[in-house]
A and B are shown apart, each in its own frame.
Chain A
Amino acid sequence: MVRVATVAELVVVGGGPAGLAAATTAADLGCSVVLVDSAARLGGQYYRQLPAQVAVADPGALHHDFRPGAELLDRVRAHPAIRVYSSTTVWAAHRDGDQVELQLLYADGSCAVLRTRTVVLATGAYDRSLPFPGWTLPGVVTAGGAQALLKGQYVLAGRRVVVAGSGPFLLPVAAGLAESGAEVLGVFDASTPARWARHAGTVARTPGKLGEAADYLQTLRQHRVPVRFGRAVTRAHGGPELRAVTVSRLDRRWRPRSAGEQRIEVDALAVGWGFTPNVELAIALGVPTAVDPVDGSVLARADPQGCTAVPTVLVAGEITGVGGSALATTEGRLAGLAAARRCGRLTAEQLARQSSPLRRRRLREVRFARALLDVYAVQPGWMSWLRDDTVLCRCEEVTIGCVDAVVHDLGATDLRSLKLLSRVGMGMCQGRVCGQAAGCLLAARTGRPVLDLAGFSARPLAVPVPLGVLADEPPSVDGSGDV
C-alpha cells in the first residue's frame, strides 16, 4: 500500500506548555501549524486535564495556577491556523535533505506520514527513577504517576500515601492528594534546605516561586501532613503488594543514619527524583546533545532562541533542560518566533525585537531552574540503600547483584556492554526508567565516567509499532496534500 505524506508548513511535536506556546506564537504570525500530541487532551504533564466527558465546574482547582494554561488551551482550540492531531504518537523521525519526515501512529493503530521544513520539538520530560529495595511492589508509583492519576483520571493513588524523593514537585503532589481525600502520612525530601543558602540572591529575584511553595506548605499544614527534609524511603515492604515503607534519616550525602528510622503502613508510595528529558526524537533527527552537569540528564543542545545545529529542528521546554512550565512557555514562544522567521513571516530585525524581552525572561527562569537543580541534586548515597536482590531494570528484572557480576566478572565498563551482557535497558521501556540510574551505578562501580548515556537514550522506534507498519512502502509526496 502506498501512503501519501502530508506536507505541513510547521509541525510542533508536544502539546504541553512549550508546544502550545510555540504553536500559538507561530500561528499568530501567519504560519500554518500542525500540532501533534500523544495524549487524548492537550496540556502535557503540567496542564493535564480530566477527560472531556467528566463534568467539572472548576478545572483549575486541581492546578496551582491554571490561568496561563487555560489561556493557551483556549487559544489553540480556537485558532484557525492550528490543526491538532491528538492521541497521535510520533514513532520515528528522520531528515531528508532540507525536510523532516515524521512517522505518526494514531490511537486506532493506523499510520500517517508528515513532512515539513520546520519542526519544533517540545516533547517534555518524564519522572526520573532511582531503584531502592521494594520499588517494584504494586502500589509504588512515580510522583508524576500519582499526579497524572489525580489530574487526568480523578483517581487517588492510594488511601494512605507517603510522598518521597527529592525536588519541588513533591509538594504539589502531596497537596493535591491531601486536598482530594487521601491521607498523606508524610512528605520526605532527601535534600537539605541549607543548600538554598548559596542561591539566596536568585530566590530574591524570583519571589513568585516562594509564594507557590508557601501555598503548598500551607495546604499540607491544614491537612496535618508532616514535611521532613533529609529523609528518604530507603525500603518498601510487602509481598505481594506494598504494605509499608521504611523512612530513614540521611546525612548530606544521602547515606542512612543508624538512628531515627520509622516504619509507616501505606497502600501507596509516590516517589519522585526530578525529571528526565524526552530527547529521543531530537537524537533521531541528529540534534547534538549534552549531559547536564548538575542532574546528569541528556539534553538537546540549543541556543536561547531554540535553534539547534540542525536548521530544520527547533527545540523548546524541558528537553533543553528541566526548568518548569514558565520557562517552557517562554522557550516555546522563542521557538515559535524562530519558526515563523524560517517560514518567512518575520524579518531578522523583527525576530530580534520580539525575542529580546522573552530572552530576558528566559534567563531569569533559567537561573532559578539551575538553583533548583542544585538544591535538589541526587547525592550518591542512594546507592548505599541497594541490596543484591534490588531490581535495577524493571522490564527485564535485572538485579543489582547481576549488574555487579557483569561488571566484575565480565568486565563491562560502559552502558552498551552492560546492556548486551545483562539485558539492562533491553525491555519494553528501552532504558527510559533505569538508564540514568544504570549510568550512575556503572560509574560508581568502575570508578570511570559513563560517556555513552546519550547512546543509551537513542531509540530509533520511539514506541512499539506493529510489523505491518514497518512493512509498508515509503510514501509518495503529494504536493496537493499541503496543510
Chain B
Amino acid sequence: MTDGTGEPLRARHPGAGVPDDQPMVTFTFDGEPVQALAGQSLGGALIASGRRSWRTTRRQGRPRGLFCGIGVCFDCLVSIGGRPNQRACLVTVVPGADIESQDGPGGYGG
C-alpha cells in the first residue's frame, strides 16, 4: 500500500473558479492525518493524498483502491470506526473520523 507521500492530486480547472483556499477537514487514515475538502468522499480524499490502494484482497492479499468510483464495484473498501467493508467512494469524510485500511474481509469491533 502507498504511504501517502505522493504528489497531491487536486484538480485545477482554469474556468471553474475554485479558489485554493477552501474549507478543509481532517481525518486519520491508519493513524496518519489526511486533509480533505469539506464534503469530499473518503475515496476522493485518499486519491487526492496520493494513495492508490488501501486494502488487500481476501484470497491473494493483492492491493486494491478505487476502481469504478461510483459505488458499484466494491473495490474501495475501508474500515470506519471499526466497521469494515464501507465503500470509500460513497462515504463523505467526517472530521476526526478514524479510518483504517482493511486486510481481506476486515474484522468487526475496535
On A, residues with C-beta under 8 Å from B are 38, 40, 45, 50-59, 61-62, 126-127, 129, 136, 138-142, 144-146, 148-150, 152-159, 176, 179-182, 240-242, 267, 394-397, 427-429, 432-433, 464
Closest residue of A by beta carbon distance from B47: A155
On B, residues with C-beta under 8 Å from A are 1-2, 6-7, 9-19, 22-23, 37-41, 43-45, 47-48, 52-53, 57-60, 62-75, 77, 85, 89, 92
With A136-B62, A138-B52, A155-B48: A149-B69 Cβ-Cβ less than 8 Å? yes
Q: How far is the CB of B75 from chain A (nearest CB, A)?
A: 6
Q: How far is the CB of B94 from chain A (nearest CB, A)?
A: 11
Docked-complex contact B74 and A51, CB < 8 angstroms: no
> Which of B7, B58, B68 counts the most A-chain CB atoms under 10 A from its CB?
B68
Docked-complex contact B47 and A61, CB < 8 angstroms: no
Looking at the complex, which one of A138, A146, A155 makes contact with B53 (CB distance below 8 Å)? A138
B residues in contact with A152, CB < 8 Å? 41, 44
A residues in contact with B2, CB < 8 Å? 138, 241
Docked-complex contact B72 and A429, CB < 8 angstroms: yes
User: Can you list 27 contacts pairing A with B, beta carbon distance less than 8 Å?
Assistant: A40-B92, A51-B38, A51-B40, A53-B39, A54-B37, A54-B40, A57-B17, A59-B16, A138-B2, A138-B53, A138-B64, A141-B66, A141-B67, A141-B68, A149-B47, A153-B48, A154-B37, A154-B40, A155-B10, A155-B47, A158-B9, A179-B14, A394-B64, A394-B67, A397-B59, A397-B60, A432-B72
A residues in contact with B13, CB < 8 Å? 61-62, 176, 179-181
Question: In terms of DSSP, what is the predominant structure of the interface of chain A?
Answer: loop
Q: Please name 14 further chain A to chain B contacts, defined as beta carbons within 8 Å, in addition to the given A51-B37, A62-B16, sorted by A numbering.
A: A55-B18, A140-B67, A141-B68, A142-B68, A145-B68, A145-B69, A153-B45, A155-B47, A181-B12, A240-B53, A241-B52, A396-B59, A428-B85, A429-B74
> Complex formed: what's the CA distance from A139 to B51 in Å?
9
Docked-complex contact B47 and A157, CB < 8 angstroms: yes
A residues in contact with B62, CB < 8 Å? 136, 240, 397
With A56-B16, A58-B15, A58-B17: A141-B53 Cβ-Cβ less than 8 Å? no
Closest residue of A by beta carbon distance from B70: A148
> Complex formed: what's the CA distance from A23 to B13 in Å?
32
With A54-B39, A428-B74, A433-B73: A156-B9 Cβ-Cβ less than 8 Å? yes
> Complex formed: what's the CA distance from A152 to B69 in Å?
10
Closest residue of B by beta carbon distance from A179: B13
With A53-B38, A55-B18: A148-B69 Cβ-Cβ less than 8 Å? yes
Q: How far is the CB of B37 from chain A (nearest CB, A)?
A: 6
> Complex formed: what's the CA distance from A179 to B70 in Å?
22
Docked-complex contact A51 and B39, CB < 8 angstroms: yes
Q: How far is the CB of A112 from chain B (nearest CB, A)?
A: 19
A residues in contact with B15, CB < 8 Å? 58, 61, 179
> Complex formed: what's the CA distance from A421 to B40 in Å?
40
Closest residue of A by beta carbon distance from B14: A179
Docked-complex contact B10 and A432, CB < 8 angstroms: no
> Complex formed: what's the CA distance from A136 to B45 in Å?
21
With A51-B38, A53-B39: A154-B10 Cβ-Cβ less than 8 Å? yes
Q: How far is the CB of B66 from chain A (nearest CB, A)?
A: 6
> Complex formed: what's the CA distance from A181 to B9 in Å?
9
> Complex formed: what's the CA distance from A9 to B70 in Å?
30
Closest residue of A by beta carbon distance from B21: A55
Docked-complex contact A146 and B69, CB < 8 angstroms: yes
B residues in contact with A148, CB < 8 Å? 69-70, 89
A residues in contact with B11, CB < 8 Å? 150, 154-156, 180-182
> Complex formed: what's the CA distance from A359 to B77 in Å?
43
With A149-B44, A181-B12, A394-B75: A142-B17 Cβ-Cβ less than 8 Å? no
Docked-complex contact B38 and A54, CB < 8 angstroms: yes
B residues in contact with A158, CB < 8 Å? 9
> Complex formed: what's the CA distance from A58 to B41 in Å?
21
With A141-B67, A149-B47: A433-B18 Cβ-Cβ less than 8 Å? no
Docked-complex contact B67 and A142, CB < 8 angstroms: yes
Q: Which 4 A-B pairs have the closest CB atoms?
A: A51-B39, A57-B17, A145-B69, A153-B44
Docked-complex contact B37 and A144, CB < 8 angstroms: no
> Complex formed: what's the CA distance from A318 to B13 in Å?
29
Q: How far is the CB of A204 from chain B (nearest CB, A)?
A: 31
A residues in contact with B71, CB < 8 Å? 38
Closest residue of A by beta carbon distance from B75: A394
